[in-house]
Chains A and B, each alone.
Chain A
Amino acid sequence: MMAMPSNESIDVESIKKDFPIFKIRMAGKPLVYLDSAATSQKPQQVIDSIVKYYSEYNANIHRGIYEIAERATEEYTNSKAKLAKLIGAKGIENIVYVRNTTEAINLVAISWGNANVNKGDHILISDMEHHSNIVPWQLLERRKGAVLDYIKLDSGNERLDMESFKENLEKDPKIVAITHASNVLGTINDVKYITREAKKHGAVVLIDGAQSAPHMPVDVGSIGCDFFALSGHKMLGPTGIGALYGTEEILDSMEPLFGGGDMISAVTRQTYSWNSLPWKFEAGTSNIEGGIAFGAAIDYLNNVGMERIHRHEAELTRYALESLEGIKNIEVYGPKKEDIAVKSGVISFGIKGVHPHDVAQIFNSEGIAIRAGHHCAMPLVTEVLNKGAVSRMSFYLYNSREDIDKAVAAIGKVKKIFKIKE
């Protein structure tokens, strides 16, 4: 695919041709994929990069003094350089490859948390976090006798309540860990502001970028955070590869989570010395195919352009919110179309009188993939929104207005089956 000039809108039809999954049919209908917040589809270029690695230069990375090992090492390392550039990190020393966002956050909670959080210390997260940015801190809280605090949402359950944020900052938390974009509400948080205020109170800041890095330009330098976590599989890459960004200063200060091969520079019977960053955090043979394919995914995203992807999704989200507005007996959660600047391409909704799983099942019968449940954000869904589950559609670069029209028609089918009045 050729690089597109950044001011032009996305040609969805030509993008879709790169994604073989769209040749399949689901329930006998062409696939409409509205579940990219769970995982993205993969372009042929990414799939090919895995086949190419295994069929042309499969070898273990580092210290192999032969051509194909050198090539594997170079491709794997290049992938980190590409990611560093994509998110505005200085270099590969800032990029630790892990399995996913969850592992990245756990690495921080265990390695940094164990060394820096003590009894009575505060940890600050928010009411719109995914379980991956809650449970690691609950475990740390329990290990250390620390106190976990939550930033509340505003009265409309759309954004973080900045008063609640400031009140909690007065407790001088050791770490503030906040999602960049909510996987349920779609809210984009002002992480630059949050980081600046948290830093005034001496807190370390972690941003959960699982739902932002795939969809919008990210610049960790400008955000000013210490850590940024993301998942490759949500940004066109394969499963099993994700990254923890950390500043050199903080990564240098931390102990590795696992010991083994590749993470040391020397070992004697009595002692060891660590390898340089980022390798000291990557014990054992890495997910080489995952790293290489993630590099191919970043190439693809760069060719389209993150700014353009963001604009495309904002446009689709506005269209979807407008389409849903006219439908009776439907409830939409998160920021509304007036606040499109702080809304990512994630729309959670409920149809009165119908369970979200029934909604998803009927969508499936129309070939439309949406997700229903608590979306691994139970405190938000069950305690704040007070629902057992919600239905969610989420967009990416391969979605079009036509997909949203089909979703709206499927809502009509749900209402008909369940005899819900117009």
Chain B
Amino acid sequence: MDFYVEELIDNYEHPHNKGKLEHANAEFHGHNPVCGDDLTLYLDIEDGVVKDVKFDGDGCSISVASASMLTDAIKGKRIEDIEKMGFDDLKKIIGIDPGPVRLHCATLSLKALKGAVFLYEHKPMDAETKKL
């Protein structure tokens, strides 16, 4: 079971940045029908930089742990860099390859993150984000 690694389980049991962000100026709700994962991602963006981020919702270990690690990784990042993030960046952050069956569990938080950024910038979601 190569992806039930200690770090993933820890992030699932004790997720970082969990809850609603009161001063959010961007948010995006994502749903993964395969596992029934449900997640809302909140951003506080100031001068084009992520000042704070939180996520709320329920899901399987992969989706929760991925959201936990991703939200840690993007604090202080510029939103134009987030716009360019893809699946490979996510894999580096979470440290596992979720495989085809659990792919959308892992990518749900990235999709919600990019969705929130595009919404904040009044831009349409790009094709790569839609595929996540």
- Closest chain A CB from B55 CB (angstroms): 16
The docked-state distance in angstroms from the alpha carbon of A403 to that of B102 is 26
The docked-state distance in angstroms from the alpha carbon of A292 to that of B60 is 43
Are A357 and B102 neighbours in the complex by a CB distance under 8 Å? yes
Interface string of A340-380 (1 = CB under 8 A from B): 00000000000000111110011001000000111000000
Which of A356, A365, A417 interacts with B9 by CB under 8 Å? A417
Number of interface residues of B (CB under 8 A): 18
- Contact A358/B1 with A388-B36, A417-B9 known, Cβ cut-off 8 Å: no
Are B35 and A361 neighbours in the complex by a CB distance under 8 Å? no
Are A355 and B59 neighbours in the complex by a CB distance under 8 Å? yes
- Contact A358/B36 with A417-B4, A417-B9, A419-B13 known, Cβ cut-off 8 Å: no
B59 neighbours in A (Cβ, 8 Å): 355
A272 within 8 A of partner (CB): no
B38 within 8 A of partner (CB): yes
A418 within 8 A of partner (CB): yes
The docked-state distance in angstroms from the alpha carbon of A355 to that of B12 is 10
Are B1 and A417 neighbours in the complex by a CB distance under 8 Å? yes
Question: Which partner residue on chain B sits nearest A374 by CB separation?
Answer: B36
Those of A385-422 within 8 Å (CB) of chain B: 388-389, 417-419
- Closest chain B CB from A384 CB (angstroms): 15
- Closest chain B CB from A13 CB (angstroms): 29
Those of B7-41 within 8 Å (CB) of chain A: 9, 12-13, 34-38
Are A388 and B9 neighbours in the complex by a CB distance under 8 Å? no
Question: Which partner residue on chain A sits nearest B64 by CB separation?
Answer: A355
Are A357 and B105 neighbours in the complex by a CB distance under 8 Å? yes
A417 neighbours in B (Cβ, 8 Å): 1, 4, 9
B13 neighbours in A (Cβ, 8 Å): 418-419
B58 within 8 A of partner (CB): yes
A418 neighbours in B (Cβ, 8 Å): 9, 12-13, 61
The docked-state distance in angstroms from the alpha carbon of A181 to that of B103 is 33
Question: Which partner residue on chain B sits nearest A414 by CB separation?
Answer: B4
The docked-state distance in angstroms from the alpha carbon of A374 to that of B33 is 10
Which of A354, A357, A362, A382 interacts with B35 by CB under 8 Å? A357
Are A373 and B60 neighbours in the complex by a CB distance under 8 Å? no
Interface string of B47-87 (1 = CB under 8 A from A): 00000000000111110000000000000000000000000
The docked-state distance in angstroms from the alpha carbon of A220 to that of B34 is 36
B58 neighbours in A (Cβ, 8 Å): 388
The docked-state distance in angstroms from the alpha carbon of A354 to that of B58 is 11
Interface centre among A357, A373, A388, A419 (most CB of B within 10 A): A357
The docked-state distance in angstroms from the alpha carbon of A374 to that of B60 is 14
The docked-state distance in angstroms from the alpha carbon of A112 to that of B24 is 54
The docked-state distance in angstroms from the alpha carbon of A417 to that of B61 is 11
The docked-state distance in angstroms from the alpha carbon of A373 to that of B60 is 11
The docked-state distance in angstroms from the alpha carbon of A388 to that of B59 is 9
Are A357 and B60 neighbours in the complex by a CB distance under 8 Å? yes
A354 neighbours in B (Cβ, 8 Å): 61
The docked-state distance in angstroms from the alpha carbon of A358 to that of B12 is 11
Question: Which partner residue on chain A sits nearest B58 by CB separation?
Answer: A388
Question: Which partner residue on chain B sits nearest A413 by CB separation?
Answer: B1
The docked-state distance in angstroms from the alpha carbon of A373 to that of B102 is 13
The docked-state distance in angstroms from the alpha carbon of A382 to that of B38 is 13
Are A365 and B1 neighbours in the complex by a CB distance under 8 Å? yes
B9 neighbours in A (Cβ, 8 Å): 417-419
The docked-state distance in angstroms from the alpha carbon of A356 to that of B61 is 10
Are B38 and A361 neighbours in the complex by a CB distance under 8 Å? no
Chain A: residues with CB nearer than 8 A to chain B? 354-358, 361-362, 365, 372-374, 382, 388-389, 417-419
Chain B: residues with CB nearer than 8 A to chain A? 1, 4, 9, 12-13, 34-38, 58-62, 101-102, 105
Subset of 8 A-B contacts with CB under 8 Å: A355-B35, A358-B4, A358-B61, A372-B35, A373-B36, A388-B35, A388-B58, A389-B35
Interface contacts beyond A358-B62, A373-B34, A373-B36: sample of 10 additional A-B pairs, CB < 8 Å, sorted by A: A355-B60, A358-B61, A361-B101, A362-B1, A388-B36, A388-B37, A388-B38, A389-B36, A417-B1, A418-B12
Q: Which 8 A-B pairs have the closest CB atoms?
A: A388-B36, A355-B60, A365-B1, A357-B35, A357-B60, A358-B61, A389-B36, A417-B4
